[in-house]
Amino acid sequence: MEFYDVVRARRSVRKFTGEPVPAEARKRIAQCVVAAPSACNRQPYRFLWIEDPELLKKLRTVALQPDILNAPVVVAGLVNCDAAWRDDHDPRSVGEIDLAIAAEHLVLAVTAEKLGSCWVAAFDTVRAAEVLEIQSPWRVDVLFPIGHPDPAGTLRPFVRVDADEMMKVL
C-alpha cells in the first residue's frame, strides 16, 4: 500500500475475527517499529506481542471497555522514562513522545498488512503491569488489540478539524 493510502485507511478497529495474525506480518511490523526515531536514539520503549491464550485471557480483564481487547493479538507498549533523553534544564521526559512515535509506526504497519488495531489507553495500568510482570521503572503505557477486522464491526464517524485550521501557515 502507498503511504498516503495507509494513512487514510487507518481507523480504530474494535471488533476482530479470530483468524490468527501470521508470523511474517509480525516480523514486518516489528521492522517498522525499529525504524522509528527517538530522542538521542535512546529507544526507551519495548513492545510485547501477546498471543498466548492464557495471558490474553488475563490481560482482557484489565480493560475498562468490555471486549476491546478481544483480538488474537494484543501488543503492550512499555516505556522507561528514566532511560529517555532529558534536558538538564527541563524536568520533562520525552519517553512518552518516543513511545508514541514507535507505536504509531506499529499501527500504520498493521494497517499496511490489511489488519486492524486500536490505541487503548483506558485500562488499569497497575493490573496490566502485574499480569505482564513489568517492574518499575518500566510502565505499561498503551495496549493495541490487533487482528483481522470483523466485517460486522462498525467504525465510528470520521470527524476531524479542517486541515487549514489544524496546520496554520505563518
Ligand X SMILES: Cc1cc2nc3c(=O)[nH]c(=O)nc-3n(C[C@H](O)[C@H](O)[C@H](O)COP(=O)(O)O)c2cc1C
Enumerate the β-bridge partners of residue 87. Answer: none
Figure out which of the listed residues 36, 51, 83, 119 binds ligand X, where binding follows CB under 6 A.
119
Distance CA 141, CA 33 (A): 16
Enumerate the β-bridge partners of residue 48. Answer: 76
Which residue stretch of 8-16, 27-35, 125-133, 161-169 sits at the interface with ligand X (rule: CB under 6 A)?
8-16
Number of residues this chain uses to bind ligand X (CB under 6 A): 12
Figure out which of the listed residues 18, 121, 126, 137 binds ligand X, where binding follows CB under 6 A.
121
Which residue stretch of 37-45, 53-61, 119-127, 145-153 sits at the interface with ligand X (rule: CB under 6 A)?
119-127
Sign of the alpha-carbon dihedral angle for 2, 47, 144, 56: positive
For residue 118, state whether it binds ligand X (rule: CB under 6 A): yes
Smallest gap from Cβ 6 to ligand X, in A, equals 13
User: Which cell is 132 given?
Assistant: 505482564
In SS3 terms, 137-158 reads as CEEEEEEEEEECECCCCCCCCC
Residues that bind ligand X (CB under 6 A): 11-12, 14, 65, 68, 118-122, 155-156
